[in-house]
Structure 1
């Protein structure tokens, strides 16, 4: 395959191991690629403020697409920002409260929020042992969120919110929540995405990682066939459909591996992205 002009990297399950850390080797291979003249970008479901808490000192990329394409920064410049309608925010919180569904609401900048009256409900969702079907990284994130990551407010106010993250230990509960959201879409348009069977994320309609990447390509005068995308999950599907070169992680579901050009030899816990990039671009 031709050498790409830009590389877009997912985070969870890709450059992050299952304990939510980016390795020093991964940081250094990104540095070498950028020195070589290849743009390297993050394209993640995480909120912007969640990214650099997971990385080694000095970690740097050329830009960040966060919240599954809701915000985009090319260097320090904000390239785009999409926000959820206020009515949708209120309706989702009301229905989550009725169905006792764990939620986090992400502003375009700053920590995630939830309403104070829902604190006990959210805590209930992460009490007890981790179910076998919940990934350790997702469980750790929820424990960290409930014990200090979430800012609890008397009432959600303002308009600059980019996405909801919803979670349940019970897969059946997420299925039912998905049905509720599909009904709500008939009144207010929005999009949803899942990275596991235990979560659903709610975002602005018709916006995703791929629409964010396209904004970057337009700004840099690049075409989709000039980029490489690496990811591991279903919220990477649109990104894979857009990119000219695609790589799935060894730890990705079989359905994801089946649609990409390549699969890494190693998993995210074995620095799979580092090994793939090093072998492809620097080992002769």
Structure 2
């Protein structure tokens, strides 16, 4: 990087709100920039809250055929060539479900079943279009470890959810709330995008000062703190913007491409 002495060697890219607008394809200029970075030898790592199943189509769009991807906020590490997980950081969702039901009796839960689909206690917003979707009760949903537990509070507000979550204590779990609406994602304590990227950086033998991350959401905060150079998308929440070394254009302005073309144009 210009201020760090060279081009980035490990590039972490969020998906929704960063690489693409949810429900839309990755724009051509962004695809070209990502492919140019890969051709130059950089490790481009899609790093997303999405499941393995819903990340695969993005990898295909980008033309990524080898390397690594991190899904479920860092809890699932994919071997891109095989499209399969090489590491899964799962946890027992039972205690979190019990604690959250006490705070939000009407909360709808969805637990990821890696490479299979989703168990859910009801219908709510989410990317369940790929894989099995099975309605289950709380007991069944809590019966197997999962890398990602989503909670949606129908008719609630984000502000009230945050107020109530201040009293949430689940010893083996961490959680992050969404930017839009009363929902949250629970993972194994300590697992985050930044945590997973640091493990990968060490495994690849890449220097800390050769890392770049681009994101836009609350689940990107640890990733932005981790990177030697962090970039937030325009329109990100204020406390995400505050963590970034720079702000790039939004998805419609090909913000990711604007950054990558600096080195890989």
Band of TM-score, shorter chain:
0.7 to 0.9
Unaligned ranges ≥5, structure 2: none
Q: Which of the residues 205, 214, 217 maps onto 1:221?
A: 205
How many angstroms apart in 1 are the aligned matches of 2:39 and 2:129?
Answer: 39
Q: Tell me the equivalent position of 1:99.
A: 105
Trace 1:124-203 onto structure 2 (pairs within 5 A): 142=125, 145=128, 150-153=133-136, 155-156=140-141, 159-168=144-153, 170=155, 172=157, 175-176=160-161, 179=164, 182-185=167-170, 188-198=171-181, 199-203=183-187
- Secondary structure class of the residue paired with 1:45: coil
Q: Tell me the equivalent position of 2:259.
A: 276
Deviations 1:15-44 (A, max 9, x none): 021434322332232121111111100111
How many angstroms apart in 2 are the aligned matches of 1:226 and 1:112?
Answer: 36
State the 1:238 CA deviation. 0.9
TM-score by length of 2: 0.82
How many angstroms apart in 2 are the aligned matches of 1:58 and 1:200?
Answer: 28
TM-score by length of 1: 0.77
State the 1:195 CA deviation. 3.2
Trace 1:242-261 onto structure 2 (pairs within 5 A): 242-261=226-245
State the 1:108 CA deviation. 2.7
- Secondary structure class of the residue paired with 1:51: helix
Confirm or deny that 1:12 pairs with 2:19.
Answer: no
How many angstroms apart in 2 are the aligned matches of 1:276 and 1:151?
Answer: 41
8 Å CA contact 1:12, 1:20 repeated in 2:
no
How many angstroms apart in 2 are the aligned matches of 1:86 and 1:17?
Answer: 30
Q: Tell me the equivalent position of 2:36.
A: 32
Count of residues paired in the alignment: 255
How many angstroms apart in 1 are the aligned matches of 2:225 and 2:214?
Answer: 12
8 Å CA contact 2:208, 2:227 repeated in 1:
yes
Q: Tell me the equivalent position of 2:191.
A: 207
Q: Which of the residues 221, 226, 233 maps onto 1:237?
A: 221
State the 1:175 CA deviation. 3.0
How many angstroms apart in 2 are the aligned matches of 1:233 and 1:210?
Answer: 13
The 1:58/1:211 distance shift into structure 2, 3 A limit, reads closer
Q: Tell me the equivalent position of 1:130.
A: none
The 1:282/1:90 distance shift into structure 2, 3 A limit, reads closer
